[in-house]
Structure 1
Amino acid sequence: WKEVLGIDSVGIQDNFFELGGHSLKAMYLVAKIQKEMQVTVTLKDIFTHPTIEQLVNRVQKLDKSKHSSIPQAKIKELYPVSSAQKRLYVLDQLEEASISYNMPSVLTVKGEFDRVVFEKAINALISRHESLRTSFEMVEEKPAQRIHSKVEFEVRYDKKEKHELETLASSFIQPFDLSQAPLLRVNLIEITQDEHLLFLDMHHIISDGMSMNILIQDFIQLYEGNKLADLRIQYKDVVEWQQGQQATEERQKQEQYWLAQFEGDIPVLELPTDYARPAMQSFEGETIEFYWNKNLTQKINKLAQETNTTLYMVLLAAYMTLLSKYTGQEDIIVGSPVAGRKHADVESIMGMFANTLPMRNRPEGSKSFFTFLEEVKETTLQGMENESYPLEELIDKLNLTRDTSRNPLFSVLFNVLNMEREEIILEDLSFQPYSIENR
């Protein structure tokens, strides 16, 4: 618990969620318990037994189940891609010169910065993670990935004034050629002698949100001269293992669950818009930021505690209620990203693990919000238990009518990001997220 929650002490009667736990951390806890204790614990078990004392009683009643490590794939020239990678590759070929699936991130770096150590750390990262040495190509009309033993990589250096930074993002965020590794760019911009901006950009086909965290944490460790534990497996190994799981009973169970969720007519969200929907969807948009006061945040957290739910569940229920008020519809599907890292073996690996769950709920006017919240809790837990089934395969199975003006299955997304480490402070340096405009 201390490792998952990132705290120093835990009592056996402390509540996991009151200590800062949430759905994602509960998933990590489940994976670690399954690996260490060889029992199949579910996400629902964590919610119904949220203290160590209660969870021990639950685990003692469970039968032992063998936890299988993910094996290493045989060494080959080319490897298969995951379902998510296949979709991203096809979209990239259709939308030439697109930056829709770039993943830019910017950090402010303050203090004494050593360029030699910096480049050494970046090159060590590329050597450590095969995803940073991966390119993609078509073979017999199927996309495949190639792992390169070495890649040429250069850090770009610039010197800019602060007033020039606003236009910098657009010049840095450029399309990637998926046939050329690495699908990574690094630009270090000197503002003053002791202040720099570190621009990082990767293509989504080799990365996701958790991968970006891994990249930054590994970079910090390497920059400080620390040795990282070797990675036993890499992303390609996981993909090959996943493909071997397709005929398993668990996989069939997950497929049946999602197909049952979308039996019959599938609703299309009809939000009132200012303009006519274009025939071909674009990915251009705007970011709007707003802030809640401390009092409202405390009330929401209190509601979550009183209903044995999480911040995510409360906000998702509120979001769906709002969508229902705007549209008059009482059957709504919202896409919601999940980490896709249920297996404990993958927690330190970079790659495109993320999946999107189509969460379907019915915010009917006859229900109280508390009744609806309980339903959202149930569908959230069930959805996360079945999160390993790829969205791309579900869409194929449903045989949806193609509509180029919309995303298939859902038109809106909802996500809660727990930004716990806003600033990283080292002996001579500090790293802090820097906000950029990305349309």
Structure 2
Amino acid sequence: MRTQGVRRRAGGDRGRGRPELTAAVARIWHELIGTVAADDDDFFELGGDSLLATWAVARIQEELGIDVTLDDLFQRTRLSELVAHLQTLPRAPRGDTPAADADEGALTAAERAVWLAAEVAPQPTAYLISVVVEVRGDLDADLLEAALGDVTARHEALRTAFPLTGTEPRRRVVAPGRPHVTRVTEAAPPGPDRLRELAAEDIERPVDLEQAPLFRARLVTDGDRAVALLLTVHHAVFDARSLELLVRELGACCDARLGGGAADLTPVPGPATAGARQRAWLAGPEGRRAVAELAGSLTGLPVAGPFPGARPSDAVERAGAHWRGPVDEDLAQAVRRLALRRGATLHMAGLAAFAVALADWTGTEDLAVGAGFSGRTSPEAQNAIGCFVNVLPIRIRLRGPEPFADVLARAREATLFVARHQDVPFESLRARLRQEGVAVPEVRVAFGAQDVARPVHRGEKFELIGKEADTGQARLDLTCWLEAAGEDDLQAFWTYRPGLLTSSDIADLHRRFIGALRDGTGTELAHS
């Protein structure tokens, strides 16, 4: 996977010595992971994952002018090994793609995918995200509200709507202005449960995609003091990385205002810029080749998915449910060790176990498992609030009873293959398959692994702590998130469609999932 249309510095890394290159790569790792790396340190042992690896590769390409790939990092995970390999790679920058598009009203592929999904979703609130930014310490409510205006001015996605022109949505960005914020004053300082209740109340009301901004804000206060900022925001302009950026920039703007200075309102290139570059890349030979390769990998895949005999009823479609299952501490440690030994990530190990469990439960051994890729394959996209995520199918083929290590190896290979092609929009993939007369597979199940450590900004007198609240929405038939809250803390968070699946079904799937992890790691069931 490579950056699209990213301008690299003239001359790149030409003439740079080994110590200087080591320091430059170590700096990039430190800024992404937060840990200082020595020569023998391993990217993934330090806390890196597939997403951070994607960003590291993009930044090495951009800042050092070296044509490195994601595979290079996965094959050489130690700093010294990677630096030695970087010295052998070409330094000449590839050609640029346009930074602007004459059609400024066009939606990006990610925005359009969410817009289309929201249009056909049975629930008008299916693609809303509920965000709680808790305030600890002393922070004036007026100041936090002004900081939200600063962030909104800086990021065009927070001022974007998608009104229809005929039957097609078009992008419309409104001028910066102070967003409307509703104040909620509680009789007593609200705790976490009350904040969740307030967030849940607002998620029941739709957001009009034709009117900017595509979020609602409520500020919970205790007198003049801010307690929490609650946002209900449409997924078309927001994703998981956006929450990190929101918390970081709200904090920075509050700090600036508290210090009597001016907040940084320099606009950052938003989704429209990334979308223009993606369209230009797709029209070129590299993009066309990537679409063809990804489409070819799905030839012969069963179309119906893992639940071929089941079709949700209207009642099923109207609601979602979720279920949490634990992963005990010994098993969590063993899974991480297994992944490191096999040159894999937590996501790859979990995906292998998910495929084993699903195949065992359904009898379907050729699976398309959806995975959400960040879509932020250029350094500038890493710093823009907006929707960039691209959900693509990863094909996992099982071969009956077999060693878990073999399934993990194929899951690793399949994930890296799709990651190299993650800039291909799913709609482009569908169009290519239709062009070839191939039935388009449905992506009805998905798997992901995520670090649930909350984004935090620590100011001198206050802290901001961000969290996406559970909404209970089921956008697909079945999704499993392997959530990590530390080295020893893993949970499986399942969302599903009631009626199509039951809580007993999910408990059974979770049992099989844990069993696959135990088989793969040789870990016995913990007894109290």
Which residue matches 1:381? 416
Alignment of 1:152-163 (within 5 A): 153-160=179-186, 162=190
Mapped pair 1:184 → 2:210? no
Please say if 1:345 is aligned against 2:380: yes
Deviation digits for residues 163-197 of structure 1, max 9, x if unmatched? 76564334312211111111121111236876723
Map 1:297-376; keep pairs closer than 5 Å.
297-376=332-411
Determine the structure 2 residue equivalent to 1:253: 289
- For residues 208-247 of structure 1, the C-alpha deviation after alignment (integer angstroms, 9 at most, x for no partner) is 1111221121111111117448345222122222222222
Instruction: State which drifts further: 309-318 or 132-141.
Output: 132-141
Give the deviation of 1:279 after TM superposition. Answer: 6.0
The whole-number CA distance in structure 1 between the counterparts of 2:426 and 2:129 is: 20
Q: TM-score, normalised by structure 1?
A: 0.89
Would you identify which runs of 4 or more consecutive aligned residues in structure 1 move more than 6 Å?
192-195
1:107-155 CA-partner distances (Å, limit 9, x unpaired): 3322222022112101111111111111212235432101112356211
Contact 2:200 2:471 in 1 (8 A): yes
Alpha-carbon distance change, 434 to 210 in structure 1, aligned in 2, over 3 angstroms: closer
Question: Which residue among 413, 418, 421 is the counterpart of 2:446?
Answer: 413
Correspondence 1:438 to 2:474: no
- Alpha-carbon distance, 1:310 to partner: 1.2
Q: 1:18 to 1:333 in 2, by over 3 A?
A: same
Mapped partners of 1:302, 1:154: distance in 2: 49
1:255-291, CA deviations, whole angstroms, 9 ceiling, x for partnerless residues? 0121111112424334499x97316862621222233
The aligned counterpart of 1:210 is 241
1:325 to 1:45, Cα distance in 2 relative to 1, 3 A = same
Rounded Cα–Cα distance in structure 2 between residues aligned with 1:229 and 1:52: 36
Supply the distance in 1 between the matched residues of 2:216 and 2:160 (Cα, whole angstroms): 14
Letter in 1 for 2:283: A
Deviation at 1:374, TM superposition (A): 0.7
Indicate the residue corresponding to 2:76 in structure 1: 49
**2:173 is the counterpart of 1:147:** yes
Q: CA 1:231/1:282 → structure 2, altered by over 3 Å: closer, same or farther?
A: same
Question: Quick check: 1:221 aligned with 2:249?
Answer: no
Listed one character per residue, the Cα deviations across residues 400-420 of structure 1 (whole Å, up to 9, x for unaligned) are 9xxxxxx96221111111234
User: Equivalent residue of 1:332, what SS?
Assistant: strand
Q: Of residues 9, 18, 25 in structure 1, which corresponds to 2:45? A: 18
Alignment-derived partner of residue 493 in structure 2: none
> Cα distance, 1:73 vs. partner?
2.7
Q: Distance in 1 between matches of 2:223 and 2:325?
A: 31
Q: CA RMSD in A?
A: 2.8
Q: Once the 2 structures are TM-superposed, how far is the Cα of residue 435 of structure 1 from its aligned partner?
A: 7.2
**Counterpart for residue 156 of structure 2:** 130
> How far apart are residue 102 of structure 1 and its match?
0.7
Work out whether residues 35 and 67 of structure 1, in 8 Å CA contact, stay in contact via their aligned partners in 2: no
Distance 1:56 1:205, change over 3 A: same
Say if 2:291 and 2:428, in contact at 8 Å, map to a contact too: no
* Structure 2: unaligned runs, 5 residues or longer: 1-28, 258-262, 473-528
Counterpart for residue 172 of structure 1: 202
Q: Secondary structure at the match of 1:252?
A: helix
- Residue 428 (structure 1) shift: 2.0
- Where does residue 229 of structure 2 map in the other structure? 198
Count, aligned residues? 430
CA contact (8 A) 1:106 1:198 kept: yes
Distance 1:223 1:69 in 2: 37
Gapped regions of structure 1 (runs ≥ 5): 401-406
What secondary structure is seen at the aligned counterpart in 2 of 1:309?
coil
The two structures have a TM-score, normalised by structure 2, of 0.75
Could you say which residue in structure 1 is the equivalent of 2:278?
Answer: 242
Is the alpha carbon distance of 1:71 and 1:437 closer, same or farther for their aligned partners in structure 2, counting shifts above 3 Å? same
Give the one of 266, 290, 295 matched to 1:230: 266
2: CA distance, partners of 1:265 / 1:296: 33
Letter in 2 for 1:394: L
In 2, Cα distance between the equivalents of 1:165 and 1:348? Answer: 28
Query: What SS class does the counterpart of residue 40 from structure 2 fall into?
Result: coil
The one-letter amino acid of 2:48's match is: G
Q: Given the superposition, is the C-alpha separation of residues 215 and 71 from structure 1 closer, same or farther in structure 2, using an over 3 Å criterion?
A: farther
CA contact 1:111–1:194 (8 Å) conserved in 2: no
- Whether the aligned pair in 1 keeps the contact of 2:392 and 2:426 (CA below 8 Å) is yes
SS of aligned partner of 1:347: helix
Once residues 51 and 224 of structure 1 are traced to their aligned partners in structure 2, the CA distance between those partners, rounded to angstroms, is 37
Query: 1:399 Cα deviation (Å)?
Result: 3.5
User: C-alpha separation between the residues in 2 aligned to 1:167 and 1:198?
Assistant: 13
CA contact (8 A) 1:70 1:237 kept: no
* Residue equivalent to 2:88: 61
Conservation of the 8 A alpha-carbon contact between 2:243 and 2:466: no
Matched, 1:117 2:153: no
Identity %: 27
Distance 1:276 1:143 in 2: 30
